[in-house]
Structures are given as C-alpha cells and as structure tokens.
Amino acid sequence: MVENERKLRVGGSPLLVPEFVAVHAWVAIIGALALVAGNIVGSIVVPGHDWIADTVSDLAAGRYEIIQDVTLYAFAAALICLSLAAAHLHDGSRAWSVLVYTLVLLALCVTIIAARNEYGDGDKEGIVIHIYVVYALGALFITAFSILGFRGHRFGRGVIVSSRVSAIIWLIGTPVFFNLPTSIDGAFERFLGIVAVIWCIIFAMAMRRWSFHHG
C-alpha cells in the first residue's frame, strides 16, 4: 500500500503516465485525419458537390450525410482525447484549465453540427442554432490556439509558433468567412478547417513526445 502510494506521487505531484497520453494522442491524430478523409470522400461521392462553394455543413446533410457526420464525430472524439491528455499534463494554471474545458466545448459544438441537420438556410422547422454553434466554434478555437500559444513553452517552439499562427489566421479569417459570397465560402472554410486539424495533430504529437521524455 505504501509502496503504491509512493509510485503515485513524484515530487508531490500525481504520477505522469506516458501511455495514457500516448493512447489519447493517437486517437486525436486519427480522428483529425478522419475528418479530412471524410471530407474528401464526401466531396467525391456526393453528386454535384462543389468544394469551392459548398461548405462542410452541406456535406453533413442529405443522402450521403453519414460520410461527413461519422468523421465529424471522429473529430469530436479527437478533441475530447486532446482535452483528456491536456488535463493529465496540467501545469497548474487557470489558463490551462480553460484550455481543457475549451477543448471539451469544441467537441460538443462539433457533435451538435454533426447531429443536427439544421443549418440556418431558411428552414423554419425547429430552432435554428447552427449559425450560433459556428460562432461559438470560431471563438473557442481562437481561445484554444491563444492559450497554447502562450502556455505551451514546455512542448517546444513548434507548438508555440503553430498555435500563434493558427490564432492569427482564425482571428482574421473567421470574420472574413462570414462575409464571403457563397460561391467561394466552402473553400475558405476548408482552409480554416485544415489549420485546426494541423494544430490538433501538432498538439497531440507534442504532448505524446513530452510525456515520454518526462514520465
């Protein structure tokens, strides 16, 4: 019993379990890549789909909605896994707690987008919430990017730079997206999405690497 308690504490802090971080990091990476794969497959399979004009939400509705919906759920799982790994590697700051909860809320937003086939496109049935969820998604991603950009020094310069660049791109790009004509907003949305996916993968890999070096 005493021996086990010693193993659970290192310098007064909970024991770091690299394997726990690694599993969640890999799931996060796979989930992020699945989102990209689903978008590519959906764009090919859905008849008449225009990836420049049509958004991801358009792919998540209609006859072939299951393709994009499943990969959106996979991305939500990726965000949950990022939050669990980040919580395990908590640095004790309030900002890091906000990051953990922000990732959870992002997963919730993505799940709502996948589950609810209402996109504020003139449909009067039910409550129109899609646009508000998208607003929240933008604000939450910018928050996550910014926090890691200023609190992620232990993970290396690459994480800091990628987080700050992502924050700047989304801070500028989000209002631009909402004011673009519908003939090109699909391509711009995909650009912002790729930025988020790359950030998730970089963050996941950095947490896995750091945990094995310090565990």
Looking at residue 103, its amino acid is: L
Nearest to 74 by CA among 189, 200, 159: 200
Task: Quote the tokens at residue 52.
Answer: 């420049």
Domain boundaries, the chain: 15-214
Note the pLDDT of residue 127. Answer: 55
CB 188 within 8 A of CB 177: yes
Mean pLDDT value of segment 154-180? 96
Name the residue with higher pLDDT: 13 or 3: 13
67-126 pLDDT per residue, tens: 888 999 999 999 999 999 999 999 999 999 999 999 999 999 999 988 876 554 445 454
HEC readout, 148-184: HHHHCHHHCHHHHHHHHHHHHHHHHHHHHHHCCCCCC
Please give the CATH number for the structural domain made up of 15-214. Answer: 1.20.1070
Average pLDDT, the chain: 86
Burial zone of 12 (CB within 10 Å; 0-12 exposed, 13-18 middle, 19+ buried): exposed
Please report, for residues 7, 16, 24, 103, 198, the alpha-carbon distance to residue 21 in angstroms, rounded to integers and kept in the order given. Answer: 18, 9, 5, 15, 18
Angle of CA points 55, 106, 93, to nearest 5°: 145
Mean pLDDT value of segment 20-39? 96
Region for residue 123 given its phi and psi (left: phi exceeds 0; alpha: psi -120 to 50; beta: otherwise): beta
Is the model's pTM score more than 0.75? yes
Q: For residues 70 and 16, give the distance between their C-alpha atoms in angstroms, rounded to a whole number.
A: 32
